[in-house]
Structure 1
Amino acid sequence: MVLQVQEGLLTTSSLRVLVATAVPAERDAVARAFTSDSRVDVIAAGVGPAAAAAATATALAGTPYDLVVSAGIAGGFQPEAPVGSLVIADEITVADLGAETPDGFVPVTELGFGTVTHRPPSALVRDLAAATGARTGAVLTVSTVTGTAARAKELRARHPRALAEAMEGFGVAEAAAAHGIPVLELRAVSNPVGPRDRTAWRIGDALAALTEGFGKCAPVLESWRQV
């Protein structure tokens, strides 16, 4: 389902934006950031990279967009991305696409095919980070959420710039790339990456931070154009 945001901060002369979240709660949190006359569409694309890629590609096939954003809550690597903070990806990297070997994990690119990283427009990332106060770094896409300290340590060893992990960014980025459209990923941190402790999750706070962050993004998006 596509949620047409009826109340938006973007003017009709602005670029057209597709925001892909995983679940309706995230979709609604993003939608609350916008008021009248919007050119922003927000979809709940489903959980995981495959669902996100399929739903995003379907949406892109029907409407011309200038920018795609993967958005939602995420786990944050501590202490760099504390609970409640915002993260904007300067690289969107899939962390578990490849092969296990006796010497450890090998990404698919080292096997001789595929891609594992998409890079959002650097100037836009910089300007949005300045407007929102978000941290910038790598956001990892995983198909299995990290639940142990050992797994968190392994991911940080392979991706020392990682600030957060989520499950959809790379799928959204693949769909955007297939259509030749730039992509962003913006995440609000709801829990630490590591041992799975539901009592430490702050989903409501993260959703509120997501709404606030998108509200601050709007003026930057109004003035931005992809060269």
Structure 2
Amino acid sequence: MNILLVAATEGEICPLLQHLQHDWRMAGGRLYQRGDHRLQVLITGVGMVATAYSLGKELSRRRYDLALQAGIAGSFDKGIPLGEVVFVASEQFGDLGAEDHDRHLDIFEMGLLQPDAAPFVKGRLDTPLTERHRNIRLRQVSGLTVNMVSGNERTIARLAERYSCQIESMEGAAFHYVCLSEDVPAFAQIRSISNYVTPRDRASWKMREAVTALNDWLIDFVKG
């Protein structure tokens, strides 16, 4: 099976890379092989633009049976413990559109795109569940992708009310959009919660714990 593992930064998956270098055969660059499985690691850079460019370029070169995006995220939902690893089953763009005085209009409300225009379904980018997802036994959540992570009460309240999404990242919707558009047979976005989406307070973040939990899950997944 050909697997593509996508991450915005190397730091988010460093323990996994160490595992691959030890337990898998290096086959050139960031390509690893074990038995019939080939795993390509793609570090895209931060944000939607970098993710869409890097992922689109890679998928134009090679077909994959499974694409995984791995990273950390903030959570609007305080019922999700910090450090929990989640499966983002649905995505939306949080700041694509226009401001209309005190309102935000998305591209569907602006009439630039129909909510069911492919690859969207009712304005969302959903993950089609396949047989390959049966080993992903994680809480399923909805994601919101933004260019600038939320850090003040007004923005947080507006996004939480408008989208009713549970987590926030800077790359997820781009990953979903490209995978759906390129007909990747199976894909999944896996995130570990490092912080709650509140006015910015890095002292309360659990970055190290989130990275550890994410990589523990990834290592178990590739072992299986």
Pick the TM interval, shorter chain. 0.7 to 0.9
How large is the RMSD of aligned CA atoms in angstroms?
2.2
- Aligned match for 1:164, one of 167, 187, 202: 167
Alignment map for 1:39-118 (pairs within 5 Å): 39-102=38-101, 104-114=103-113, 115=120, 116-118=123-125
Q: For structure 2, list consecutive stretches of 5 or more residues without a partner in the other structure.
A: 25-33, 114-119
In 2, the alpha carbon distance for the partners of 1:191 and 1:128 equals: 26
Deviations 1:44-86 (A, max 9, x none): 1011000000011111111211222221011112312221011
Superposed, 1:199-218 pairs within 5 Å as: 199-218=203-222
Deviation at 1:129, TM superposition (A): 4.5
Displacement after TM superposition at 1:192 (Å): 1.1
* 1:165-192 superposed Cα distances (whole Å, 9 cap, x missing partner): 1101112222222321143211001111
Residue identity (%): 28
Change beyond 3 A, Cα 1:75–1:45: same
Query: CA shift at 1:20, angstroms?
Result: 1.2
Give the whole-Å Cα distance in 2 for the aligned partners of 1:64 and 1:101. 42
Question: Where does residue 149 of structure 1 map in the other structure?
Answer: 153
How far apart, in 2, do the equivalents of 1:113 and 1:98 lie?
9
Map of 1:184-195 to 2, 5 A cutoff?
184-195=188-199
Rounded Cα–Cα distance in structure 1 between residues aligned with 2:6 and 2:93: 17
CA separation of 1:93/1:45 partners in 2, compared to 1, >3 Å: closer, same or farther?
same
Higher Rg:
2
**Structure 2 CA distance, aligned partners of 1:88 and 1:137?**
6
Retained in 2: the 8 A contact 1:95–1:141?
yes
- Structure 1 residues 104 and 33: alpha-carbon distance in aligned structure 2, compared to 1, 3 A threshold: farther
Aligned with 1:122: secondary structure? coil
Contact 1:82 / 1:192 at 8 angstroms: preserved in 2? no
The 2-side partners of 1:206 and 1:70 are apart by: 15
